Structure 1
Amino acid sequence: MVNYDVTVFTANRIAASTFNNVFIKLVGRDGESERKWLIGLRGASAFVKGATASFTVSCPASIGKLVLVELDKQRLLLFPEDSWFPDKVEVKSPEGDIYTFPIYRWITDSEVHRFRGGAALTVFADDHHLGRYSRQLELQQRKDDYRWDVYAEGLPHNMKVDDPLSLPCEVRFSFTKTTEFFFTAGTGLTELQLKGLSDCEESWTNFEDIDRVFCCKTTPISEYVQRHWKEDALFGYQYLNGVNPMLIRRCTALPQNFPVTDKMVFPHGQSSLDNEMKRGNIFLCDYKRLDGAQPNTINGKKQYLMAPLVLLQKSPDDKLMPIAIQLKQEPADDNPIFLPTDSEYDWLLAKIFVRSADFSEHQLNVHLLRTHLLAEVFAVSLLRNIPMVHPLYKLLIPHMRYTMQINFLARRTLISEDGVFTRFSASGGEGMVTILRRSLSSVTYSSLCISEDIAERGMESIPNYYYRDDGLRLWDIIHRFVKGILEFYYKNDSKVQQDSELQKWILDIFEHGFLSQECSGIPDRFTTMAELIKFVTMVIFTGSAQHAAVNSGQFDYGGWMPNTPISLKRPPPTEKGKSSEDTILSTLPDVNVTAQGMATMWLLSQQSSDFVPLGQYPEDHFSEQAPCDLIKEFQKELEVLSAAIKARNKHLKVPYTYMDPEEVENSVAI
């Protein structure tokens, strides 16, 4: 007889314990053990939260190199079946070899579950018939668990799910995350309800009343925004480092539908638009995706959603200043071009309409579509097509944490028929789907890769663009990490081409995420290592750094409602000289709309206590030395970048923290 020393690690998380009987079978290249009941002196306490329990499995002879373990649990007579969350199983063979089998998932039934070793294996390298068979069984089950669904025609497909409890346990929120999420959601609105605000459908009568609501929840940046929101410098700064740093581009020729003249913007002849464009000092923001979208009706009142054009100039002191605003796409006598030289209230009202349009462009295109919906596509395709033993699964699964559930909640509570966004934003309802469809048709592969996007928008050299500076460094760090991991498993391009699981993953993304639109530039197969490395880098960057950049500052810049109105209830001015403070107050959203917007932005800006920062991997999916070393190097590089960002921010009036690796979550989890 030979003995195998088996150690079972139960996760140190709420409700991870099981009091059922646990069984194991070891499967090796030369044979397998009997199914063994893991019973010892500790009894049922062997599998409680945080426990480590050791057992001996005996075999008549060595079963060779281990291929997998089979685990199952059976309920005790008269006891209910429970759920168990084991972290991993370690086995020491009679030859002295140690095998690690990562699990990190809930076992909720009495079925047999098979787990492969921590050494990653591509499908072409998996040369054992039982190993290949276990891959097939796993993916068959996953295709049943993770099914595609269509939320609306023309949008990326999503996971079919009826309610959070129908999500597979492995992708649900933890107990901690669930508790904190709904507590934050509840208390944010309850506080405003107690003040009688969430049901008040009246207009604001003065800014002091808005301030009294705002002061119940603030951040240092939101307070700065409240003090400076009327200033042109902050208006321009937000295009670089606010929550929507993706729209602005260098202007080399004015659009034909934006007839700004030199006399308008340089009334004293101090320069010309041609000269300033040649110097690279003129920038354009065009909200054309919003043009013609059906605006909402809120509290029985028609709302207004404009599609402005904004011209900005880099000043000699390196500030980005707005110099012209046209609120509708087509020039006309009743569509004036507003200028900083206009009356205070004319110019301020024009900027308010722009900031309201920016809310819709940001939330629907930049935030919802380009991070949340695409991250879900990447995740569902991974879980349908890539088994746990595959190196791509091990690399990407930490970057998919909670994404399916947060997106389900968004569809149910934000963009559903009675969702907050649908009921209280100008672009909710019919307009939302129109804008999302247009946005998807404009998404290109290059626009998802930050260095290419920055170059295409001509934004390489404008100063104080911290989103660009931090994002480019983060992309490079992620790229080096991904390159190191993938090159360890794929030695040449032909290995990439041979990997049928990998090819199914990218094809599913192309078909279900980008609706087979070749014009997007998204590949439908990988032919080279370079293509694979770039795409996987983009997937990780999108779900971590990019999401943090466009999500984490929502309350900072939107908590003070006049800076980011989620809707406006009066039409834009058709002539100059008629606006006043009363005009602005009667244009801003009603009290209850403000309250709902504030509560939602507060919720979406909060970190959970089980937040996992970029590059931290509490679950050990890799066991080989090389990938483990690469993870440590990845973490060191992120630490260096974090320190550099903190040092820079000490000298900034408005620190840019959203892409500090310590503040970036591993996945789209909020």
Structure 2
Amino acid sequence: MVDYEVIVLTGSLGFATTFDNIYIKLVGLNGSSKRKCLWSSMPSFYSGAVSRFTVTCPVSLGELLLIEVDKEHRLLLPDMSWYAAKVEVTSPEGDTYHFPIYQWITNSDVHRFKEGEGNCCKTVSSQSLSRKKQSSSQVQSAGRAGEATASLLLGKRGNCTLFVEPVLTHYEIDADVQEDHELQNWIKEIFEHGFLSNNNSGIPQKFTTKNEMVKFVTMVIFTCSAQHSAVNSGQYDFGGWMPNSPTSLQLPPPTTKETATEKTMLNTFPSVNTTVHAMATLWLLSKESSDRVLLGHFPEEHFTDKFPRKKIMEFQEELQRLSAEIKTRNKDLDLPYTYLDPKVIENSVSI
């Protein structure tokens, strides 16, 4: 018999606690463990908890590929959702495996999480398991790290693929992209459910080349971070002065120049009540979120491999240089442009 040490970390979010039974199953190259209830005489899955358990198997499972986690309601207790942060498993050989989760588990379904990815999957084939740290996991690494954004902001560095391509090094030829079923299902789901299978949306239904994939990942990163900051963050600065962007007009705008007077302008502008509501809306849209996460910072530990962690560090250093350059440039401007300073750009849309 061999023992696996299992450490379960519950997130520190509000209402992350559950008193339901939590079950785990370890899946390795050489087999899997039995489904085990992670039971303790003391509450184990409260907000911020770090709980230790032992899973015993007849023989070693070999390299661990994934874990299966599910939640079972306890009678006489409220059925509570659980925010799982991550699971760490130490094998009898002394190897430690990291399974990032960072999501709510709300039902009794079995949730599968791959080592080092934090990507929940419904079905896992033996082929996809054997490539667990390659293929689509590296697309997710590129997406979360946002490596492409630095080159998009730094025009002098050239095109935006400078950082995306190195992260996706596993895809050596176009056939690697075409044969990655998880990657193809990812873009198919975006096309079908995100864009309702609209052929005119510009979103591909599948990836046929590596360049196509790199372009799409780059577009997603840039749109959710830098572009959103550019179009959103300055709304109150420029729209808060109502004449710059009145939300409504009570009279038609003049059709000839130099015919408008102060009286006609005041009669045309929206009422004070309407203006106040518009200003409040713009202020809320432009306001920094209290829980914001700046570009290049990742409080959730989704990455365990050395390569993506190295690329994140390089990305952060590049952002620091860019921020310093923007601040220097802004010193000589009567109206500084700050919305593409990495110090104010968030990793993703947060309103």
Query: TM-score scaled by structure 1?
Result: 0.47
Aligned to 2:14: 14
Is 2:342 the partner of 1:654?
no
Deviation string for 1:142-201 (max 9, x for gaps)?
A: xxxxxxxxxxxxxxxxxxxxxxxxxxxxxxxxxxxxxxxxxxxxxxxxxxxxxxxxxxxx
Tell me by how many angstroms 1:71 deviates. Answer: 1.6
Which of 199, 205, 225 lines up with 1:516 in the alignment?
199
Query: What does 1:273-422 align with in structure 2 at a 5 Å threshold?
Result: 390-396=137-143
Deviation string for 1:485-541 (max 9, x for gaps)?
A: 112x31222211222443344456567378313xx7655443332222122111110
Is 2:279 the partner of 1:598?
yes
Deviation string for 1:347-366 (max 9, x for gaps)?
A: xxxxxxxxxxxxxxxxxxxx
Q: Are the counterparts in 2 of residues 496 and 527 from structure 1 also a CA contact under 8 Å?
A: yes
Aligned letter for 2:22?
V
Deviation string for 1:423-475 (max 9, x for gaps)?
A: xxxxxxxxxxxxxxxxxxxxxxxxxx99xxxxxxxxxxxxxxxxxx9834499
Within 2, Cα distance between the matches of 1:627 and 1:669? 24
Within 1, Cα distance between the matches of 2:343 and 2:196? 30
Q: 1:395 to 1:12 in 2, by over 3 A?
A: farther
Query: What does 1:633-652 align with in structure 2 at a 5 Å threshold?
Result: 633-652=314-333
Within 1, Cα distance between the matches of 2:156 and 2:16? 35
Is 2:163 the partner of 1:481?
yes
Within 1, Cα distance between the matches of 2:347 and 2:163? 14
Aligned letter for 2:71?
K
Aligned letter for 2:325?
A
Query: What does 1:172-211 align with in structure 2 at a 5 Å threshold?
Result: none
Aligned to 1:27: 27
Query: TM-score scaled by structure 2?
Result: 0.86
Deviation string for 1:353-394 (max 9, x for gaps)?
A: xxxxxxxxxxxxxxxxxxxxxxxxxxxxxxxxxxx9743345
Aligned to 2:92: 94
Within 1, Cα distance between the matches of 2:118 and 2:70? 23
Q: 1:505 to 1:84 in 2, by over 3 A?
A: closer
Q: Which runs of 5 or more structure 1 residues have no equivalent in the other structure?
A: 136-387, 400-448, 451-468
Q: Count matched residues.
A: 341
Structure whose alpha-carbon radius of gyration is higher: 1
Deviation string for 1:245-264 (max 9, x for gaps)?
A: xxxxxxxxxxxxxxxxxxxx
Aligned letter for 2:165?
K
SS in 2 for 1:103: strand
Within 2, Cα distance between the matches of 1:119 and 1:602? 37
Aligned to 1:355: none
Tell me by how many angstroms 1:587 deviates. Answer: 1.4
Aligned letter for 1:55?
F
Aligned letter for 2:278?
G
Query: What does 1:607-646 align with in structure 2 at a 5 Å threshold?
Result: 607-646=288-327
Tell me by how many angstroms 1:665 deviates. Answer: 1.3
Aligned letter for 1:516?
N
Which has a greater percent of strand?
A: 2
Tell me by how many angstroms 1:476 deviates. Answer: 5.8
Which has a greater percent of helix?
A: 1
Tell me by how many angstroms 1:24 deviates. Answer: 1.5
Tell me by how many angstroms 1:630 deviates. Answer: 0.9
Within 1, Cα distance between the matches of 2:266 and 2:83? 54
Q: Are the counterparts in 2 of residues 27 and 66 from structure 1 also a CA contact under 8 Å?
A: yes
Aligned to 1:128: 126
Q: 1:478 to 1:19 in 2, by over 3 A?
A: farther
Within 2, Cα distance between the matches of 1:120 and 1:81? 24
Tell me by how many angstroms 1:61 deviates. Answer: 1.1
Q: 1:389 to 1:40 in 2, by over 3 A?
A: farther
Within 2, Cα distance between the matches of 1:513 and 1:628? 35
Is 2:109 the partner of 1:111?
yes
Which of 566, 578, 585 lines up with 2:247 in the alignment?
566
Q: 1:577 to 1:115 in 2, by over 3 A?
A: closer
Within 2, Cα distance between the matches of 1:389 and 1:84? 27
Q: 1:389 to 1:69 in 2, by over 3 A?
A: farther
Q: 1:640 to 1:590 in 2, by over 3 A?
A: same
Q: 1:522 to 1:5 in 2, by over 3 A?
A: closer
Deviation string for 1:302-345 (max 9, x for gaps)?
A: xxxxxxxxxxxxxxxxxxxxxxxxxxxxxxxxxxxxxxxxxxxx
Within 2, Cα distance between the matches of 1:625 and 1:390? 14
Aligned letter for 1:79?
L
Identity across aligned pairs (percent)?
A: 51
Within 1, Cα distance between the matches of 2:185 and 2:128? 22
Q: Are the counterparts in 1 of residues 319 and 342 from structure 2 also a CA contact under 8 Å?
A: yes
Within 2, Cα distance between the matches of 1:667 and 1:9? 25
Aligned to 1:75: 73
Is 2:246 the partner of 1:549?
no
SS in 2 for 1:106: strand
SS in 1 for 2:56: strand
Q: Are the counterparts in 2 of residues 9 and 52 from structure 1 also a CA contact under 8 Å?
A: yes
Q: Are the counterparts in 1 of residues 240 and 279 from structure 2 also a CA contact under 8 Å?
A: yes
